[in-house]
Amino acid sequence: MVYAPAQFITAKFPALTAALVHIASLGEGSKLDAAREQAIDAYASELLPAILGGDWVHGGSGMPWTDAIPLELSAHMLWFRRNDGTPGWENCAVLSHPNQPIVDDGKIIREVRAAGRFIPSFLVAVQPLLKRGIGIWVSHDLSYWRPSRTVCVLIAAGLAPERAPAFGFRPVRGQR
């Protein structure tokens, strides 16, 4: 599968998409690790400031509240915090990168590229976060782990569902 992000995503996040194109062209090894580090830097310097505002830094390996993240979203998880904030949902964001079949069925709906119906087990797993007011957005174009095979799931407070499409994401809405 060839990684080719939508043009508006490339225009909005040039450093991130350049890193993702590079990752998609590599096999395992040190070059892949370096390219992934570039993508992590771009999440902090480009994606999160555009979506959530402020200055962001990668939080490192020890996320303060891993028990709040459902197992379905723990794959290749990264966490970031605002440069001037203490760890907590108001100042942190999580990006996880599960395999696409964990999240949706892959069938194209409503002309959304490579985006299918959310899998019921995924929707059940994210309900506790949604009930706490934590937003969840999904993108098939912005995952750094295996572009085109994994999806990027952004988890953060302050994610307004109606803004998701402008950044190449689909919002996950709570069940009624």
- Supply the DSSP symbol for 43: I
pLDDT attached to residue 41: 97
The pLDDT tens digits of the residues spanning 9-67 come to: 999 999 999 999 999 999 877 899 999 999 999 999 999 999 999 999 998 766 666 66
Domain membership flag for residue 2: no
Distances from the Cα of 46 to the Cαs of 5, 9, 115, 136, in angstroms?
A: 16, 12, 23, 18
> 23: domain range?
7-171
Domain membership flag for residue 53: yes
pLDDT attached to residue 110: 40
Distances from the Cα of 77 to the Cαs of 10, 61, 69, 104, in angstroms?
A: 23, 9, 10, 18
Domain membership flag for residue 76: yes
Domain membership flag for residue 1: no
Phi, psi angles (nearest 5°) of residue 101: -65, -15
The pLDDT tens digits of the residues spanning 69-113 come to: 887 777 788 999 998 877 788 889 999 988 877 677 665 444 444
Domain membership flag for residue 142: yes
| 8 Å CB contact between 103 and 74 | no
Q: How many domains does the chain have?
A: 1
Domain membership flag for residue 79: yes
Domain membership flag for residue 110: yes
Query: Which of 76-80, 109-113, 123-127, 161-165 has the lowest average pLDDT?
Result: 109-113
Domain membership flag for residue 176: no
